[in-house]
Amino acid sequence: MKEAGEGKEESRASGVITVVTGMIEDLDSTMPAPVQGVDVLISEWMGYCLLFESMLPSVLHARDRWLKPGGAILPDTAHMVSDVATSIVW
């Protein structure tokens, strides 16, 4: 996120780009005022293997509290692939 904040001057985006870093649970106290909502939430919500340390409940809270209608949560998809292997001794 630090790099995103540093690169905003070189971007072609118009308007105001504000990068807020920190834990979702702390956004109420760290969000610059006055903010009505955000256009994009970027979070590492999946944990490892899409199963452990999931931050999904926190991201859903942030979505409901901060995300503007039509906004995006990134990443927004995940894929889990599994395979079965066996070893048969004859």
Which tens digit of pLDDT belongs to each residue from 7-48? 555 666 666 777 777 777 777 777 766 677 888 888 877 777
3-state secondary structure of 6: helix
> Angle at the Cα of 25 (from 23 to 27), degrees rounded to 5?
75
Verify whether residue 10 is a known catalytic residue.
no
Predicted pLDDT at 32: 66
pLDDT confidence tier of residue 1, bands split at 50, 70 and 90: very low
Out of 3, 6, 25, 53, pick the active-site residue.
Answer: 53
Verify whether residue 53 is a known catalytic residue.
yes
What does pTM read for this prediction? 0.61
Predicted pLDDT at 33: 64
Provide the Cα torsion 17, 21, 27, 30; round to 10°. -80
49's CB contacts (< 8 A; 6+ apart) are 80
Q: Is the dihedral of CA 24, 26, 29, 32 positive or negative?
A: negative
Out of 9, 10, 25, 44, pick the active-site residue.
Answer: 44
Predicted pLDDT at 71: 92
